[in-house]
Structure 1
């Protein structure tokens, strides 16, 4: 699944993680200051944030773009020399570009959050009659947001297009790799479906989860300092009172509670999803045989196979009831949680309309990034079931025993004849 697209996968991903960590640490412990050598110094300490689209091509941002490109180029050059791979251009430069576009959109979100404060304080002043303004000034403020939204939207469109091609390239790599070894794999139950369908689903789910995870980490890194800066407006939290770092503590505790609740509620789903693919594949396979052989797909056989499909789906439906109750109850409560923790500050008149919008947005971004497992649990369940099916291919090619469920299938085949 990975060796077809990435060179020496275990070493590759370990080195990517180490290199990324080293690049991040160097950035925070001196690399950011090196931009001054090229006339691109960091923002002055205590300087107010730049409001509007121009922040995206300010000097600190331009230096980060150069720094990111240099780190990617060095990593690519090493692997091109150490372990050339036919898909190296897609597995490193294109993957890095996708990560950069995700980072860029996170920074657009931060810029929008910075815009919230002064603009909504300005709106509050207009509504209360304490600020005098003109139509031109009002629409100039709206236009500042519109430019950020327009850039973010177009970057998302470009990213979606590139990601679609990236997914299909990974599927192509897996397809070619498995087809080269078809003679060793054809005896595995549902081998044709695993190659035709599961390779596409695996690459698509991995990209989706990977991109979501990276975006969550980047959002957390970008918005935690924003939230820490804004919590000067927070006097205390409900019930617990005044504590250090109230917004951060509230976000961590709330997300930990939600993630553990959903994981416990969905603990049975991966096995049921995998079982669902097996019974569907068995039913479909019998019908395919029935197209060419009159003695196959007889009513008694198909009824039994479809009954297995029905039973598994009904079990899934049952277990999804309490899973969805827990998940959707938490997500609905999440919509008002920020307002609950801001209650004491509202009552104490410590917060205005601008900071309220900034805090609500920043808190929502941070909690959403911390809820990666919660929001992605259904996708993770699907990935586990697909991985189990493709794992039989890897076990065969590596000379390892088949997964237990595939061994049981082969035993039944030997006892009953071809199914």
Structure 2
């Protein structure tokens, strides 16, 4: 991780631009640009109002010093309408900035979601990139922080620059010269309060960077550990039944406790460093309140300026200092921002690498399934199957068997076009359907489960008939119920739901990767008979260990390991 962080430091702004640019050149660029222009204009309006308030300070405090009651109330009236204008500008500046954040986050989230789903990136990423942990957290949280921090920091920097430009001339003019004797000569420094503000801010910024530098790495690590802990919690929820059957509560408690201790350990280090930074920034900020009065008071006592002039100097000094201490006040946010960019940049690079991997793309073919010169490997390069070739015609059914670890399921992943560690050629019809050993049960109604991945609604009678065919007639009355079906249905029932999907889709090619392994043999036999009867012309490829499956197939492939195989 240290090397990755050093790389990301060198490429911080390049990574930032690569992440930010797509939105600002997208189809929403004109609307986004208009919103950003409005926010910038309102931000500049806030600075302008601060300049007006600064001028008001001189008039108001002079009326107090001169005991000018009429001038006092006139100043109060002016303050009232100045404050009203300021409030309107500030409210709309904040509102439009939040609106821009929401729109940018929506677009960026959809963009990353699409990239994650395209080319099975969500699947390949776990095979090719062990550094990109918890992609869900990067999409859900890191993008949100990236957008909000980018806008907040960039607009804050803009306001700081404009404030500095606006008030630096005011402070120069107000502070006047500072005369003092040294080495037998009289020295005079023009605009001395400006130089004091510059030096004060420079010293504070340098010390802040020195104290807070470790916060970047600590924030990066904290986000990673928080995501790992959350992932462990999700795993317990997703595997609740298995854990309960194993009575694995003690082990799960140990795992959760260990991961949370990692979170706490880094958090304690982080808040310790933040405490050290807060000691200095709080002290420096409080000193900045009284410091310009200490420096400017001699001119007041010398009657070179009035009270209003001193308060105007103090206000101008504060504005110049605030603009220059941007790094001091924003250091924690800058540290989080950099960590977020690092994480998103790593995620994006991982998606790019995963998408660049070559897989065997099947060529279209009518009523046949061809495989030629297939070589299937594990990620470490070990060959599972070598020079494999077979051809299946309409209605033929191939059973793939062999010992565990000989490449049966990996072969099916290769045939499906999702396994990147293979080469060769395949050809089959476009409507092939692949069923895995653990079917996917999406969130939603039972009707949506049965129709997945289709979105077209199917009538109740058809779905009830399908449920009857797969021996789940008791579910026919629950088609529109929304529930956690992956927990309610047993694995065998979930596999029967997957068979129902195949009967609904009626594909020309049906591939089953131990898709009936959790179903009792009599029901398994009945389901295969139903598939053969209802899909008489379909090409079927099955992976399974049971010898009873041979009765439903007429071609056989024996995977023998180390690249060897036998076809009959």
1:290 to 227, 236, 251: 236
Which segment is superposed worse, 254-263 or 337-346?
Answer: 337-346
Does the Cα contact within 8 Å between 2:300 and 2:307 map onto a contact in 1? no
Q: Distance in 2 between matches of 1:397 and 1:189?
A: 12
* Residue of structure 2 aligned with 1:348, choices 297, 302, 307: 302
Q: Of the candidates 240, 261, 266, which is equivalent to residue 212 of structure 2?
A: 266
Q: Is the 8 A contact 2:180 2:188 kept in 1?
A: yes
Q: Distance in 2 between matches of 1:169 and 1:3?
A: 15
d(CA) in 2 for partners of 1:396, 1:282: 18
Q: What aligned pairs does 1:105-124 form with structure 2 within 5 A after superposition? A: 105-124=46-65
Q: Distance in 2 between matches of 1:122 and 1:323?
A: 41
Query: Contact between 2:293 and 2:310, CA under 8 Å: does it hold in 1?
Result: no
Alpha-carbon contact 1:238-1:340 (below 8 Å) kept: no
Q: Tell me the distance in 2 between the aligned counterparts of 1:238 and 1:103.
A: 42
Q: 1:397 to 1:291 in 2, by over 3 A?
A: closer
Structure (1 or 2) with the greater helix fraction: 1
Distance (whole Å) between structure 1 residues aligned to residue 275 and residue 308 of structure 2: 40
Q: Does 1:206 align with 2:150?
A: yes
More strand per residue: 2
Distance 1:238 1:313, change over 3 A: farther
Cα pair distance change 1:372/1:238, threshold 3 Å: farther
Secondary structure of the residue aligned to 1:5 is: helix
CA shift at 1:398, angstroms?
A: 4.0
3-state DSSP of counterpart to 2:304: coil
Match of 1:170 in 2: 104
Question: 2, 5, 21: which one pairs with 1:3?
Answer: 21
Return closer, same or farther for 1:179/1:201 CA change in 2, 3 Å cut-off. Answer: same
Partner of 1:39: none
Q: Does 1:150 align with 2:84?
A: yes
Q: 1:342 to 1:400 in 2, by over 3 A?
A: farther
Structure 2 gap ranges (5+): 1-18, 127-131, 356-378, 381-568
Q: Deviations over 1:11-63 (max 9, x none)?
A: xxxxxxxxxxxxxxxxxxxxxxxxxxxxxxxxxxxxxxxxxxxxxxxxxxxxx
Distance 2:172 2:200 in 1: 17
> Mind listing any 5+ residue stretches in structure 1 that lack a counterpart?
8-84, 402-409, 412-419
Contact 2:160 2:323 in 1 (8 A): yes
TM-score (norm. length: structure 1) = 0.71
Change in CA separation of 1:335 and 1:89 when aligned onto 2, cut-off 3 Å: same
Q: How far is the alpha carbon of 1:93 from its aligned partner? A: 1.8
Aligned to 2:482: none
d(CA) in 1 for partners of 2:146, 2:81:
36
CA distance in 2, matches of 1:118, 1:308: 58
Distance verdict in 2 for CA 1:275–1:352, change over 3 Å: same
Q: Distance in 2 between matches of 1:313 and 1:335?
A: 32
Answering whether residue 159 of structure 2 is matched by residue 215 of structure 1, we say: yes
- Equivalent in the alignment of 1:229: 173
User: Using the alignment, how far apart are the partners of 1:289 and 1:237 within structure 2?
Assistant: 72
1:394 match: secondary structure: helix
Q: Contact between 1:258 and 1:330, CA under 8 Å: does it hold in 2? A: yes
Residue 360 (structure 1) aligned with residue 304 (structure 2): no
**Counterpart in 1 of 2:73?**
139
With over 3 angstroms needed to count, the CA separation of the structure-2 counterparts of 1:161 and 1:364, relative to structure 1, is same
Residue matched to 1:20: none
Asked whether the equivalents of residues 228 and 245 of structure 1 are also in contact (C-alpha less than 8 Å), the reply is yes
Q: Is the 8 A contact 1:237 1:342 kept in 2?
A: no
Local SS of the residue matching 1:189: coil
TM-score w.r.t. the length of structure 2 is 0.53
Count matched residues: 318
Question: Is the contact between residue 5 and residue 88 of structure 1 (CA under 8 Å) also seen in structure 2?
Answer: yes
Which deviates the most, 357-366 or 386-395? Answer: 386-395
Q: CA deviation at 1:397?
A: 4.0
Corresponding residue SS for 1:2: helix
8 Å Cα contact 1:237-1:341 kept in structure 2: no
The alignment partner of 2:208 has SS state of helix
User: 184, 190, 193: which is aligned to 2:137?
Assistant: 193
Q: Is the 8 A contact 1:238 1:344 kept in 2?
A: no
CA contact (8 A) 1:6 1:91 kept: yes
Flag the 1:376–1:241 CA change in 2: closer, same or farther, 3 A. farther
In structure 2, the partner of 1:103 is 44
Distance 1:333 1:178 in 2: 46
Distance (whole Å) between structure 2 residues aligned to residue 304 and residue 393 of structure 1: 26
Alignment check: 8 A CA contact 1:258 1:371 kept: yes
Contact kept in structure 2, 1:265 and 1:322, CA below 8 Å: yes
Greater relative contact order (CA < 8 Å, ≥ 6 in sequence): 1
Q: Distance in 2 between matches of 1:319 and 1:154?
A: 38
Q: What RMSD, in angstroms, separates the aligned Cα atoms of the two structures?
A: 2.5
1-structure distance, mates of 2:108, 2:327: 27
